[in-house]
Amino acid sequence: MTLMYWQRDLETMPRDPLRALQLQRLQDTVARVEACVPFYQSQFASTRFTAAELRTLEDVRRLPFTTNADLRNHYPYGLVAVPPNRLSRLHTSSGTTGKPKAIFFSQRDVDQAAELVARCLIMVGATADDVLQNMMTYGLFTGALVVHYGAEKVGLLVIPAGPGNSERQLLLMRDFGTTLFHCTPSYALYLADFMERHGVDPRRDLKLRKALIGAEAHSEATRAKIEASLGIQAYNSYGLSEMNGPGVAFECEHQQGMHLWEDHYLLEIINPDTGDPVPDGDPGELVLTTLCREAMPLLRYRTRDITAIIPEPCPCGRTHRRLRRITGRSDDMLIVRGVNIYPQQIERILMAVPELGRNYLIELDGLDEMTIKVELSPAHFDGHVEHLVQLESRLVDKIRAEILTKPKLQLVAPGSLPISEGKAKRVIDRRVL
Which residues contribute to the site for ligand DLL (CB under 6 A)? 93, 136, 142-143, 214-217, 236-241, 245-246, 303, 305, 326, 329
Closer by beta carbon to ligand DLL, 212 or else 292: 212
- Cα gap 232→208, rounded to integer Å: 7
The whole-angstrom separation of Cα 86 and Cα 105 is: 9
User: Distance (Å, rounded) from C-alpha 357 to C-alpha 191?
Assistant: 12
Per DSSP bridges, beta strands 101-106 and 245-251 are: unpaired
The residue among 66 and 237 lying less far from ligand DLL, judged by its C-beta, is: 237
- Closest to ligand DLL by CB, 240 vs 316, is 240
Closest C-alpha among 264, 8, 249 to residue 111: 264
Which residues lie below 8 Å from residue 324, measured CB to CB, with a gap of 6+? 257, 283, 307, 308, 309, 310
Find the shortest distance in angstroms from Cβ 394 to ligand DLL: 28
Burial 322-337 (b: 16+ CB within 10 A, else e): bbebbbbbeebebebe
| CB burial of residue 363 (10 Å; 0-12, 13-18, 19+) | middle
Minimum CB separation from ligand DLL for residue 285, in Å? 11
Looking at the Cβ atoms of 221 and 412, the one nearer to ligand DLL is 221
Residue 287 has phi, psi (to 5 degrees) of: -120, 130
CA atoms within 13 A on the CB side of 231: 12
Q: How far is the CB of 332 from ligand DLL (least distance, A)?
A: 8
Q: How far is the CB of 339 from ligand DLL (least distance, A)?
A: 22
Nearer to ligand DLL, 194 or 238 (CB): 238
Nearer to ligand DLL, 29 or 303 (CB): 303
What is the rounded distance in angstroms from the CA atom of residue 2 to the CA atom of residue 11? 16
Nearer to ligand DLL, 303 or 377 (CB): 303
Q: Cβ of residue 410: shortest distance to ligand DLL, in angstroms?
A: 26
To the nearest whole angstrom, how small is the minimum distance from the Cβ of residue 328 to ligand DLL? 8
- The CB-of-41 to ligand DLL minimum distance in angstroms stands at 26
169 in Cβ contact with 161 (< 8 Å)? yes
Considering the complex, what minimum distance in angstroms separates the CB of residue 153 from ligand DLL? 17
Return d(Cα 110, Cα 292) in angstroms, integer.
11
User: From CA 138, how far away is CA 269, in angstroms rounded?
Assistant: 31
The smaller minimum CB distance to ligand DLL, of residues 27 and 420, is found at 420
Q: Which residue is nearest to ligand DLL (CB)?
A: 214
